[in-house]
Amino acid sequence: MSLTCQSLIAAHPQAWQSATVHPFLSQCQSGTIRSPQFNTWLVQDYLFVVEFTRMAASLLAIAPLEHFNSLLSGLTALQAELLWFQEKAKERQLDLATEKQASCAEYCQYMARLAIAPYPVQATAFWAIEYAYNQGWQLPGAMVSPYDEFADRWGNPGFTEYVKVLAHQADSALQTASPEVQQQAEVAFLEVARLERDFWQMAFNAD
């Protein structure tokens, strides 16, 4: 039986929960997150999205033609997202021209290494990254202002549907992948889950 996105979640529920459920998110939901924590996340996530955009471009470069439409729409959304991050940073008087913290740097380096992986592996990792944010910002429930704006960006129905398309595309690629490539995709899924967990913790630990 071929590996699928849902079978990965079913096989590794604890790893996936650690990627999508975190005190950082629950404290955003309750409005008790401290400004240094949230501001650290905002700046580091902007730096992450810059590199994630490069990952999206490398994925498009090897994707089958039938996957172009969704990936191109995702790139357009990332362009808008980068501008949105810049606006939010300006509102909070944050400097985006800063160094990546260790967890962010490790995540970005991992995404860069994925550029040489087979398409099914890249597609699985790309889906996992997007789905982790979709679930992470949805699961705590309705958030208070100003965090509700951030939750809506990744938890809205349109983004949820986009992530479903990414899952379908990854499943399609995995269906014909060799056992070796499927194993690589599972490793990538687990690595994304770990890196997501560490990213939330990085922001939560901020002074």
Domain count, the chain: 1
Let me know if residue 8 belongs to a domain: no
Mean pLDDT split into 10-residue runs, the chain, 207 residues: 92 98 97 97 98 98 98 96 98 97 98 98 98 95 94 94 98 97 98 98 96
pLDDT of 171 reads 98
pLDDT of 207 reads 84
Let me know if residue 34 belongs to a domain: yes
Let me know if residue 53 belongs to a domain: yes
Largest pairwise CA distance in the chain: 52
- Domain residues for the domain of 83 are 22-204
Burial 181-192 (b: 16+ CB within 10 A, else e): bbebbbebbbbb
* DSSP-derived secondary structure for 36-61: HHHHHHHHHHHHHHHHHHHHHHHHHH
Let me know if residue 13 belongs to a domain: no
84: closest CA among 122, 46, 52? 46
27: closest CA among 133, 132, 134, 151? 151
Are the C-beta atoms of residues 118 and 59 closer than 8 Å to each other?
no
Residue 174: which CATH number? 1.20.910.10
pLDDT of 1 reads 62
Let me know if residue 139 belongs to a domain: yes
Query: Amino acid identity, residue 34?
Result: R
Contacts of 134 (CB under 8 A, 6+ apart): 154, 155, 159, 160, 163
pLDDT of 39 reads 98
The pTM of this model reads 0.97
Let me know if residue 158 belongs to a domain: yes
